[in-house]
A and B are shown apart, each in its own frame.
Chain A
Amino acid sequence: MQKLVLLGDEAIAQAAIDAGITGIYAYPGTPSTEITEYIQRSGEAKEKGIRSSWSANEKTAMEAALGMSYAGKRTMVCMKHVGLNVAADPFVNSAITGANGGIIVVAADDPSMHSSQNEQDSRFYGKFAMIPVLEPVNQQEAYDMVHYGFDISEKYRIPVMLRITTRLAHSRAGVQRKDSRKQNELKLPKNLTQFVLLPSIARKQYKDLIRNQENFNNESETSGFNEYFEGQDKSRGIITSGIAYNYLMENYSDRICPNPLLKICQYPLPEKLLKKISEECDELLLIEEGAPFIEESLKGVLGNCLKVKGRLDGTVPRDGELNPNIVARALGFEDTRGRDVPAIVAARPPSLCAGCPHIDSYLGLNSVLEEFTPGRVFADIGCYTLGALPPYNSVNSCVDMGASITMAKGASDAGLKPAVAVIGDSTFTHSGITGLLDAVNDKTPITVFILDNATTGMTGGQKSAANGRIEHICIGLGVEKEHLHVINPMRKYHGENIKIIQEELNYDGVSVIIPRRECIQTIGKNKKEDKLKKGE
C-alpha cells in the first residue's frame, strides 16, 4: 500500500477506522479536532457505518463511548487536555468498570498553550486512573499504537489513553497502513454487574485494577515502544518522553546518541529499564514534552543519590513546548540562530474577523456599560474571548467552558449589579445550561448574552449542538419570556439593541439576550460547498 501523508491526528483517525471501531465520540478542541473531522469526511468510515457526529461535551462523549464498549464494540473518544477535566468523572471511573469492547481515550495536550488556557499534562490523569498510557513519538507510531492500544484494551479489559501533543497532532508525515480489522459483534459483558459501581462491587473491581497493574507494567517493559539504546559515554544517561526523542535526535547528525538512552512512549513507567539506566549512568537528563512527570517520579520528595537533571532544576525550562534548540542547550551543545527579527516587525495577535457578529454585540454592550464602573462582564471560551483584547476590552474573565454564567451569578450574589455573562451558543450547550438553571432557581439578577453565530467558531466551524433551539432551552429552564430577547447584531439595529440591553440590565432577575447572526466564516464555507455540489 502507498504511504498516506497524514497529520498526527489523521493518522490516529485512519488507524481507528482500520482497527475496526464502530463509533467515535468527541467535542471539538484544538489540537484534537481533526481526528473526528477526518472520520466525518472519510468515505471508508461512511461505508463501514462508523458513527462520528459531535457530542455536546467531553463528558457525554466519554460516557457514550463507555456505553459502546459495554455493548462489546470498539470505540474511540477524543478531546483536548482540558476536555479531560470535563470528562474526568466517567474517565476515572471507567478504569474501575473496565472495558468490554476496546476503548481508547485520546487526550491532546497543548504545551506552550498555543490555543489553550493551560498546559496540563494528561499523563497525570492516566496515572491517576491507573490505566496504560501510550505516547507516540511520530505519526507512524501514533497509527501503530492505536492498533496495539485496542489489543491491550480488549486483552486486559481496560480503557487505554493515547496522549499526544499539539506538534504531533498538527504535523504531517508519510504513514504506512496495516490491514483492516472487522468490527466486533454486539456482545454484552459476561458479568452484567461489571458496570455497576455500587461500593461493594467497586471495591472488588478496584482490587482487580490494582492486580492488573503488574500486567500493565509488563506490557511497558516488553511491547517495544519503550526502547533502550546502549551508549558508550556513561557519564550521563538520557530519558525522553514522546516526541522529545525527535528533538534529541535532531542534535546528532548521524542520529546516534553517544549516551545510554531510554525512549519512553508507554506507561506505567518501565521500572526495569529505568533501573538499568540509573545504575549504568552517573547522572540522568530528562527531556519530557510536558510536565516533569517522569522526573518527579524518579526524584521523589526526598531526592536520592541519583543526579537527575531536567525541568525541575532548570536544565530544561520549567514550562513550554520543547524544540531542537532547547534540547541542544540542555545537552550543553552550541546553539544556532539566524538573524534577529527587525524591530519594525509588529505583533499580529489573533482577532475577530472583519464583519464578525460578535463585534456588534460587544459594541452594543460597551455603549450601555459606559455609565457603570468597569469589570462586570464574565465571558467564556470561543472566538468571542477575543473581545478581551483592544479595541473592544469588553470582557473581564475567561476561565473554563461554562464559567461565564456561574461566575456572573457568584459576583451578583456578592453584590455586583449589574453583572453580565457572555457565552457562545456551543459553549452554552457544552456546559452553560446547568449554570443558567442555578441562576433561574435563585432568581439571580444577571444578564446573560448567548452569542448565537450558529456554529462552533473558534475550532473551525463545527455544528453547534442546539442550533436554532437556544431560546427554547432557556424557556424550558424557566427564563421568563418577557426577559428573553433574540436580537440581530448589526450596525443598523444598534439603537434598538442597546435599548433592550439597557432595560434588561435594570431587571432584578435573570435576563437572556440572544444576538443571532451567522459566523461569516461558515457563511463563506457553506457557499463554497454549495457551489461545489452544483458543479459551478
Chain B
Amino acid sequence: MKKDIILAGVGGQGILSIASVIGVAAVNLGLHLKQAEVHGMSQRGGDVQSHLRLSDKEIASDLIPYGKADMIISVEPMEVLRYLPMISPEGWIITSIKPFINISNYPPLEKIMSEIEAFENHVALDADKIAKESGSLRAANDIDYGNFEEAIKFVFGSKGDDIVNINLKAMKAGRDFAETHSHAKLK
C-alpha cells in the first residue's frame, strides 16, 4: 500500500490541520508516514501545500516526485490546478468548489471549473453546503476525507468535545457524500 497525496489551499485555510489528522490516523494504523508542510512567509495568504505520503514500507523522500501523486485534495478550486504537474496519469483530483479570492486577478470560476471537469478523474464538491448541514462551516475541510475518527479526537481533543463532535459529524457527512456522488452525477 502506498498513497501519495497533495493537500492544497491558501495560507490560513486549515491545510495543516487536515494533514495532521490524516498523519496521526496513519501512524496509529502502523503505517509509515512522511508529511511535508509549508510554514512561514506563504502562510500570509499565499498558496500552501502539504505533501502527505503513506505506505506500508519505509518512505524515502519527504517530497512526492512530480507526476507521481495519487491524489490532490484541495480546499480551493484554483489551487488544485496549481499542482497538476504533481499528479500521476491515473491520479484523482478532489476539490472544494468555493473560491478563496484574495487577489485582484482571480480567474473566472467557470474557467476554473471547466479545467477541473476536463480532468477525467475528478470530484468537485460544495463542502460548505455539506458542512452547514452537519453544523459547522469551519469543519468544511473535514468533508474532503473520511475514516479518521481517532485522529480527529487526538488532534482536536484539546479544543473540547463540541469541536471534536462537529468534526466527526462533518467527516461522516463527507463520507456519505462521497459514497453517493461521482463526478458524472455532479454535472
Contact = CB atoms under 8 A, between A and B. Distances in A.
Contacts of B41: 30, 114-115, 350, 458
Contacts of A3: 27
23 contacts: A5-B24, A30-B39, A30-B41, A115-B40, A167-B36, A167-B63, A170-B36, A171-B34, A171-B36, A171-B62, A174-B27, A246-B61, A249-B60, A338-B86, A338-B87, A338-B88, A350-B44, A352-B44, A353-B45, A383-B44, A460-B39, A532-B158, A535-B160
B97 interface: no
A34 to B, nearest CB: 7
Interface residues of B, number: 58
Contacts of A339: 84-85, 87, 119
Given A338-B86, A532-B159, A250 B23 contact: no
Given A338-B66, A338-B67, A338-B88, A170 B38 contact: yes
B105 A346 contact: yes
Tell me the interface secondary structure of chain B in the complex: mixed
B112 interface: yes
Interface of A: 3, 5, 7, 30-31, 33-34, 114-115, 167-168, 170-174, 243, 246-247, 249-250, 255, 323-325, 328, 335-342, 344-354, 383, 386, 458-460, 532, 535
Contacts of A255: 58, 60
With a 10 A CB-CB cut-off, give which of A171, A328, A348 has the most chain B CB atoms. Answer: A348
B174 interface: no
Top 6 nearest A-B pairs (CB, nearest first) are A115-B40, A336-B67, A30-B40, A350-B46, A249-B60, A250-B61
B3 to A, nearest CB: 15
B117 interface: no
Contacts of A246: 60-62
A173 B42 contact: no
Interface of B: 10-11, 19-20, 23-24, 27, 32-47, 51, 58-63, 65-69, 78-79, 81-82, 84-89, 91, 102-103, 105-107, 111-112, 115, 119, 158-160
Contact of A346 (B44, B89, B106): B106
A510 to B, nearest CB: 31
A168 B62 contact: yes
Contacts, number: 159
Given A350-B41, A386-B44, A344 B62 contact: no
Contacts of B24: 5
B120 to A, nearest CB: 11
B34 A323 contact: no
Contact of A172 (B23, B45, B91): B23
A344 B11 CA distance: 20
Contacts of A114: 38, 40-42
Contact of B65 (A33, A324, A383): A324
B25 to A, nearest CB: 10
With a 10 A CB-CB cut-off, give which of B32, B81, B112 has the most chain A CB atoms. Answer: B81
Given A255-B60, A351-B44, A532-B160, A173 B66 contact: no
